[in-house]
Amino acid sequence: MIDFLDNDEYNRWIKHAEKTLESAISDSSSGFYNWACFKAQHAAEYAVKAYLRGTGINPSGHAVSLLLKNAGFNENIIDIARIIDKLYIPTRYTDVWSEGIPDDYYALSDAENAIEAAESILEEVRSKWKSLKKG
């Protein structure tokens, strides 16, 4: 049972998640697919951290699936998070790839899938937060 909800902290982090997702969508429409993927991952991460911080937990790490698991979210949304967890490093670092740069390895479909996953996670976080406030 959660005794205290920090609505201000939740709102601060969820707003950052929403802005980051907007930026991912903008990057995708501009052809910056690797950055759209990375930002979608980060938007999801910020959303889960909004939930955790709002419930008094100071989370660490960047694995969205593990953050969701530790927060008690259902397996379906955790599976969706596993899709974008794989985008945290290779979307940004050239030395991950034996040739080329990260931009060479991502397409519009990758960005769309990442954004869709992030949107699902944000929606699930908002829903779970709302249910806590009712209880």
Over residues 81-96, the pLDDT tens digits come to 999 999 999 999 999 9
> Does 135 have pLDDT greater than 70?
no
Q: Measure the CA–CA gap between 49 and 59, rounded to whole angstroms.
A: 7
CB 27 within 8 A of CB 38: no
Rg (CA), the chain: 15
- Which tokens is 74 given? 């259902």
Q: What is the mean pLDDT of the chain?
A: 96
CA 61 to chain centre: 12
Domains and CATH numbers, the chain: 7-134 (1.20.120.330)
pLDDT at residue 35 in the model = 98
> Does 2 have pLDDT greater than 90?
no
Quick: pLDDT tens for 32-68: 999 999 999 999 999 999 999 999 999 999 999 999 9
Q: Confidence class of residue 3 from pLDDT cuts 50, 70 and 90?
A: low
CA 130 to chain centre: 18
pLDDT at residue 14 in the model = 98
> Does 133 have pLDDT greater than 90?
no
pLDDT at residue 1 in the model = 52
Q: Measure the CA–CA gap between 7 and 17, rounded to whole angstroms.
A: 15
Q: What is the pTM of this model?
A: 0.95
Give the percent of the chain with pLDDT over 70: 97
CB 83 within 8 A of CB 113: yes
Quick: pLDDT tens for 8-36: 999 999 999 999 999 999 999 999 999 99
